[in-house]
Amino acid sequence: MPIITLTTDFGTKDHFVGAVKGAIYSTISDAKIVDVSHEISPFNITETAYILKNTYKNFPEGTIHIIGVDSELNEENKHIALLLNGHYFVCPDNGIISMIAAEINPSKLVEINIHDRLETSFSVLDVFVQVAAHIARGGTLEVIGKPMQDFKRLFELQPQISDEHHKIIGNVIYIDNYGNIISNITEKLFKEVGKGRDFILKASRYNFKKIHHKYSDIVDFKLPTHLRQTDGSRLAIFNSAGFIEIAVYKSNLKTVGGASSLLGLDYRDNITIEFLK
């Protein structure tokens, strides 16, 4: 029962996702198809990388991940298939893989060469499904592609560290369903650079001196409920994906707003940590 995941910018209204699922079931009748996300902003591979990076390892090894974001074949955007960290990926060679797992080398990597002469604009349906079916049947990558040395390297925004390790300058890389702002500063980097020093985290015009592990850490449970006033409070947190996040407690983008709207922070804006002493 092979598992095939789909991560695309197709949206869920149009026929694209349904057509791809139909084609998969027509070829691999016992496939399990899982939607990772179809709500990626059109052509946005930074978002795609953040989402897949935090998803793929939860699946069993051998899972096949199809990425349908900016996947039209052209002379600068080849199609590749690879085995990386025990997982198969079928995707365009547009840098996405280096953003998902820059530090890991794929154990197998091929440029897909099963394209018919007529190239199409719906690569996921016409090419990726066939490649996934081949892998699901236990076929080797060499049959559907030509071995290659490396994929395209494209580095997402990296946090900068000041010369004397007094400062980390990061950026907003993702805004989630609650409007919470995710930076590219990981808990790991924060600890390596900070070595336990006190610090000031600066996001927009707000300062934070503590980074929590749970949202409700800011609630004082000793106070009676009506005196707490935590809803709408700002906090910094190491989120469950391991990144520093600026959140608003119990926010709601459609009503009271979230961190993104309330703090006026957007994609690529700076999040800075200054270590004291």
Residues 129-168 interacting with a second copy (rule: CB under 8 A): none
State which of residues 81, 82, 95, 176 lies at the interface with a second copy (CB under 8 A).
Answer: 176
Candidates 88-96, 132-140, 200-208, 245-253: pick the segment binding a second copy (CB under 8 A).
245-253
Contact status: 268 vs a second copy (CB under 8 A)? no
The size of the interface with a second copy (CB under 8 A), counted in residues, is 79
Pick from 45, 46, 50, 234 the residue near a second copy by CB under 8 A.
Answer: 50
Take residue 174 and report the two structure tokens written for it. Answer: 């993702």
Gap between the Cα atoms of 94 and 158, Å rounded: 18
Binding of a second copy by 3 (CB under 8 A): yes
Query: Which lies closer to a second copy via its Cβ, residue 86 or residue 264?
Result: 86
The window from 95-103, 150-158, 233-241, 269-277 that contacts a second copy (CB under 8 A) reads: 233-241
Span interacting with a second copy, options 33-41, 105-113, 188-196, 269-277, rule CB under 8 A? 33-41
What distance in Å separates the CA atoms of residue 156 and residue 160, rounded to the nearest whole number?
Answer: 12
Which residue among 107, 113, 114, 119 contacts a second copy (CB under 8 A)? 119
State the minimum distance, in angstroms, from the CB of residue 273 to a second copy: 20
- Closest contact distance (angstroms) between CB of 51 and a second copy is 5
Report, in Å, the least distance between residue 141 CB and a second copy: 22
User: What residues between 72 and 101 interact with a second copy by CB under 8 A?
Assistant: 72-77
Nearer to a second copy, 15 or 165 (CB): 15
Task: Name the nearest CA neighbour of 195 among 239, 161, 171, 235.
Answer: 161
